Structure 1
Amino acid sequence: MGPAEVARHIEGITAHEISLAKNRHITLAKLNKAITDVVNAFARVAVRLLRLLYGCQRRSPRGAAATRPPSMTRS
């Protein structure tokens, strides 16, 4: 979404004002850090979800077969 489209949706502000704010406050370093934060947060959520679904199998007494979901175990 560019400055012109944002300005169309917000009363009392111009595309020029949006562009100036963007140019002053957004840098490549800040953008890369934000991307890294989002990716890391998603990874943490995914790990928690997998642990919730399959249980935490860190100390399994039966070896590697116990860490597989039931649908993947060999018969």
Structure 2
Amino acid sequence: MNYQAFTNGSLTMMYESVRGALASDDALKAQDQEPRFKVRETPEWKKHAADLEAEMLKRGMFFEVIDWSEDQTTLPFDR
């Protein structure tokens, strides 16, 4: 994908979409349901996020890096 062609806002929107899909999958998995987007099972999701990060860094954009750890949706008092 030609990430250079997108605006900063578009890059941010795509990156936040990856974060949202991951959070949705994790929430469903925590409820013993099938993940809808299969973000963790599909390597292309992580590559897409990494490519977006690379372009955003080139542009000097600030963003919160996606936490890919398995327990990102676990609250501290649930452990």
Bucket of the pairwise TM-score, normalised by the shorter protein = 0.3 to 0.5
Larger radius of gyration: 1
Larger RCO (alpha carbons 8 Å, 6+ apart):
2
Q: Report which of the two has the higher share of helix.
A: 1
